[in-house]
Structure 1
């Protein structure tokens, strides 16, 4: 290459870099962060600022190992299926004893995973506690009672119950792949409060279920106002320590000293997240202490059938208060559900809990659920039958 051509190439390269730099710096903060980190991953603990949700080392309740712990051998097809979607943890617990426990892809029982939207159920539980304590006066309270600025147009009609049932009508775009979606803004941005309180309500509240992460985030701000505590501290006091967790958990923030990402980002281990399954099985009771009232739990784990479903055709039969309800072999199974396949199932007929954490979920749906959710229950059913 001649000297003149080298100079032209160098000048062109520098110009391209400068142009890209200008374009990058002109993007909003959340878009720049999204470009740096790209797609969400389960081990993003170091990517964001976070609050610690402390456990009490002096008061830990451990899962027992069943007499036939891990004697069951997965069918080759089941093992291959777990690997195909990059499962990192698969636990089956019955009668408070771990029957089957598998860690894969370099994972172990001490590593924490982002639960993503399974976190929403935790927010639902905390709302029930605040209601039980009288800090939230009624689920039919208007959101504006706690957030006085939430009165623009139909915002004024939205109730706490509407947020719990994802029927608040918020103009929230649940798009995970778009660089400029409100979902990307919420996950990578540093201004959650301004974002969700500023969004309009475009659908009549309390009519139809439509999955909107922003409504859980708004619910968290209601909780913080009502309780006078951060979400992390309230969870620590009312759930994590009373449930006698084995390890500290973490709640990711939108910025240093900022707000918890209530719609997505609780970090914990597979064994500790199973405690939420146990709490669902026992209708809010933990070893004799009623952490959440049974009346609230009954509503939480029952579909909000007065609403239309997401297609607007039928009565809603698969979502309660920040909790999914699967219909499997004639049984209603409450479950927590995260975007990369973070699933915690409570199976009442078996007194069993199933935890699946992983890096990927299936993209094919049957109704409101992806097909992998049924497949994991099928695998668990075989383990329970064999154990």
Structure 2
């Protein structure tokens, strides 16, 4: 007989299953935790031309419950914001549940991919050695699972770790990470790490790096620390300098901070849908915004094709059922769809997506607050994005 979980454990699931709290968390992170802005830069916002298209009546996905159109998809995904760019123009834009175009929204793990762009850019510039262990840049991590892993292992989720001697369990470790950066999510009597750096030091290897795909936040937090050591900049300042200030963004973005004032780089980032769409359009255009090359063209154009030899090419999203097909690849913290359109995406919990499909000339941003529970099936977002792209290109 399974014992009932003690009341003190209920907080571990609060961020997944409480709809009211979840909507507040995704839209008002800076009210719940200390934060640091990602400056949009001094230049005027870059215009997003509009070419509206009526997509509401389009049949998107057929499920057991029937054929979904956008209103049904929005209900299933608890959508807060949805924006579609086609050939650089806004063809569809909607905001629900109190979200507004100027309001930053939680990006969750989609932020991992943005950090991957910075790392790939610094490596392209010769400032970061992909083959070096992380401890070459952060000496105090020597002997830990992450410190002994190569930069490429971090960029491809190639470490196998155990924290503080616990058997690794992805949902548990995700909640443990939230407890590090968000005191309000700590259960009664919590005595674990209270900063990201302290958390990383408890990681020990349980297998050789580079041999298995294991989606884990510590890879990204280690990489973020490496980048801070290389550049001398905070993660917020680095993202602003390398990317955000060059997009023509309308608004500052922001990261939430831990107790030491360090950014939660793996998922504590918030920005508006319009500005994230600008980032996606920059990637679709080979790393350029107009006549300005923001990131090297090689970095942008090899997101899909650059998976190194030896890394798995058949993986699945963290929330996917374990018996679902492993059809994705993973490169430099981006999810590769392996479809005919060279599509790839940044993906985060509760429905955050930045979807880029160069051959469909498509960029889609979806922000959501979907409850994470076995009783709530994930919304078929990617299938819907592709259907929209094919329709717009017909």
2: CA distance, partners of 1:260 / 1:71: 40
Match of 2:57 among 57, 62, 74: 74
- Report the counterpart of residue 47 of structure 2 in structure 1: 62
Check conservation: 1:304, 1:317, Cα contact below 8 A: no
Q: Does residue 322 of the first structure (1) align with residue 314 of the second (2)?
A: no
Given the superposition, is the C-alpha separation of residues 357 and 154 from structure 1 closer, same or farther in structure 2, using an over 3 Å criterion? closer
Q: Residue in 1 aligned with 2:131?
A: 140
Provide the C-alpha distance between the structure 2 equivalents of 1:128 and 1:98, rounded to a whole number of angstroms: 29
Question: Equivalent residue for 1:377?
Answer: 385
1:108 to 81, 100, 112: 100
In the alignment, structure 1 segments of 5+ residues that lack a partner are: 1-19
Cα deviations across residues 163-198 of structure 1 (Å, max 9, x unaligned)?
A: 00110223365644x599533334425400111133
CA contact (8 A) 2:153 2:209 kept: yes
Superposed CA deviations along residues 212-245 of structure 1, whole A, max 9, x for unmatched, are: 1111011000000011110000111111111111
| Cα distance between partner residues in 1 of 2:207 and 2:143 | 13
Q: Larger radius of gyration, structure 1 or 2?
A: 1
Q: Distance in 1 between matches of 2:160 and 2:348?
A: 22
Contact map agreement 1:248 1:268 (CA 8 A) in 2: yes
Q: Is the 8 A contact 1:70 1:101 kept in 2?
A: no
- Mapped to 1, the partners of 2:57 and 2:373 lie a distance apart of 24
Give the match's secondary structure for 1:258. coil
With structure 1 as the length reference, what TM-score do the two structures score?
0.80
Q: What are the residue-to-residue correspondences of 1:11-160 with 2, within 5 Å? A: 41-43=25-27, 44-66=29-51, 69-75=52-58, 77-78=68-69, 79-136=71-128, 138-152=129-143, 155=146, 157-160=148-151
CA distance in 1, matches of 2:158, 2:240: 28
Please state whether the residue corresponding to 1:280 is helix, strand or coil. helix
Match of 2:368 in 1: 358
**Counterpart-to-counterpart distance in 1, 2:326 and 2:148:** 22
1:240 to 236, 240, 244: 244
Which deviates more, 317-326 or 54-63?
A: 54-63
User: CA 1:242–1:374 in 2, change beyond 3 Å: closer, same or farther?
Assistant: closer
Q: Is the 8 A contact 1:100 1:383 kept in 2?
A: no
- Aligned pair 1:192/2:196, yes or no? yes
Unaligned segments of structure 2, at least 5 residues? 1-5, 60-67, 184-193, 317-321
Given candidates 248, 251, 255, the residue that maps to 1:251 is 255
